[in-house]
Amino acid sequence: MKFSFINSARGIAILMVVTLHVSQLITMEGYWKLLKFFCNYGQLGVQFFFIASAYTLCLSADHRKSESHALRNFYIRRYFRIFPVYYLGIIVYYLMNLFYQDAEAYTFKNVFANVLFIHGFIPSANNKIVPGGWSIATEMLFYLIFPVLHWFLFSGKIIFRASLIVCACFLGLYLLQIKVDNNTFWYYNIITQLPVFVVGMVYYKYVGQISLRIGFALFALFTLVTLFFWQFRWFEFVPLSSGISFCGLLKILEKTSLDHPFFQKIGKVSYSIYVVHFIFAFFLLPENQSIVWFLPFLVVTFALSYFISVLFEKYIEKPFIKIGSKLTSASN
């Protein structure tokens, strides 16, 4: 079974995110507001990343279940996969803020929280040191709890156990009397985002039983459900419903020619693109521009981010992943 569709999923996800952030530089009035609406939906590319991540982690767990020191090796591999580019991002965005805006958020507490990847618990540190860093914090927390989550879900009736986790997350928000607004601390929080990962793990369990027709149905139906929640500002439900819709899209990618080398190549370096593209979208390109600049800005941002990310993959990501692999091999 080929798994290139996972990279295609990541490629589509990062295109969604980059399109969103570039669109924020553009003034869209009149008929162009419809384009603005579709661009705003791009923020859910992060949830698509989460679905792909849950799927690949389950796949890896099955592949490595007989490995000695599996838990320790899992954490080593994940850390060496994420930290090099992210730590470089901390330095780069500190310098960018120092030059273009201000660096007041770069206190010792906030930077140290980002170094430890616990900034998802600290409002002043979350999304303030590396733009978009909230999703990395959430991802790392998911890595932290994944072994327990995997054991809990896959050692019994998975639908029932997944429902318990999802209901516990929503109950927690209700008991804490938290109103989740879009792009706020509680929207970024693991409590709100955990249902997405759980859905991705459930999808992995039943992927063989889901046909292409069901995939199309899930994608279409839950995209509409997501738009409904969005319209009424029920943002606590948006990650879950979009996650289900992206499970449908994952099946479409698996079974159709939408799984294309173009998306696959982008997907291979999507993590670096995610960290890098804010340099252009948040700092170097001017704001409040005419609609005529939308496509040029999008092409420039994406092309330059991709080029830099290819270099990052070759000279930063792969060498550190190799170091992580050597450490895990030495421990076996």
75-133 pLDDT tens trace? 999 999 999 999 999 999 999 999 987 889 999 999 999 999 999 999 999 999 999 99
Give yes or no for residue 147 having a pLDDT over 60.
yes
Beta bridge partners of 26: 289
Which of these, 122, 131, 117, lies nearest to 83 by C-alpha position? 117
Per-residue model confidence as pLDDT tens digits over 266-312 = 999 999 999 999 999 999 999 999 999 999 999 999 999 999 999 99
pLDDT band at 243 (very low <50, low <70, confident <90, very high): very high
pLDDT of residue 1: 47
Q: What is the largest CA-CA distance in the chain?
A: 62
pLDDT at 2 over 90: no
- Nearest alpha-carbon partner for 241 in 71, 44, 12, 40: 44
- pLDDT value at position 102? 82
Are 52 and 9 spatial neighbours (Cβ–Cβ below 8 Å)? yes
pLDDT tens digit string along 67-88?
Answer: 888 899 999 999 999 999 999 9
Asked if 7 contacts 258 with a C-beta cutoff of 8 angstroms, the reply is no
User: For 162-218, how does the pLDDT look when each residue is reduced to its tens digit (9 = 90+)?
Assistant: 999 999 999 999 999 999 999 999 999 999 999 999 999 999 999 989 999 999 999
Domain ranges in the chain are: 4-331
Q: CA 281, 282, 284: angle at the middle one, nearest 5?
A: 75
Residue 230 tokens read as 């969005």
What is the mean pLDDT of the segment spanning 146-175? 96
The residues near 2 (Cβ < 8 Å, ≥ 6 apart) are: none
3-state secondary structure the chain: CCCHHHHHHHHHHHHHHHHHHHHCCECCCCCHHHHHHHHHHHHHHHHHHHHHHHHHHHHHHHHCCCCCCHHHHHHHHHHHHHHHHHHHHHHHHHHHHHHHCCCCCCCHHHHHHHHCCCHHHCCCCCCCCCCCHHHHHHHHHHHHHHHHHHHHHHCCCHHHHHHHHHHHHHHHHHHCCCCCCCCCHHHHCHHHHHHHHHHHHHHHHHHHHCCHHHHHHHHHHHHHHHHHHHHCCCCCCHHHHHHHHHHHHHHHHHHCCCCCHHHHHHHHCHHHHHHHCHHHHHHHCCCCECHHHHHHHHHHHHHHHHHHHHHHHHHHHHHHHHHHHHHHHHHC
Measured between alpha carbons, how far is 25 from 222 in angstroms, rounded to an integer?
29
pLDDT tens sequence across 29-64: 999 999 999 999 999 999 999 999 999 999 999 988
pLDDT score, position 100: 85
The two three-digit tokens of residue 84, written as one number: 């090099």
For position 208, what pLDDT does the model report?
87
Per-chain mean pLDDT for the chain: 95
Q: How far apart are CA 287 and CA 47, in angstroms?
A: 26
**Contact assessment for residue 16 and residue 41, using Cβ atoms and an 8 Å cutoff:** yes
Burial class (CB in 10 A: 0-12, 13-18, 19+), 288: exposed
pLDDT above 90 coverage of the chain, percent: 92
Is the predicted pLDDT of residue 331 greater than 70, yes or no? no
* Distance, CA of 203 to CA of 170 (rounded, Å): 20
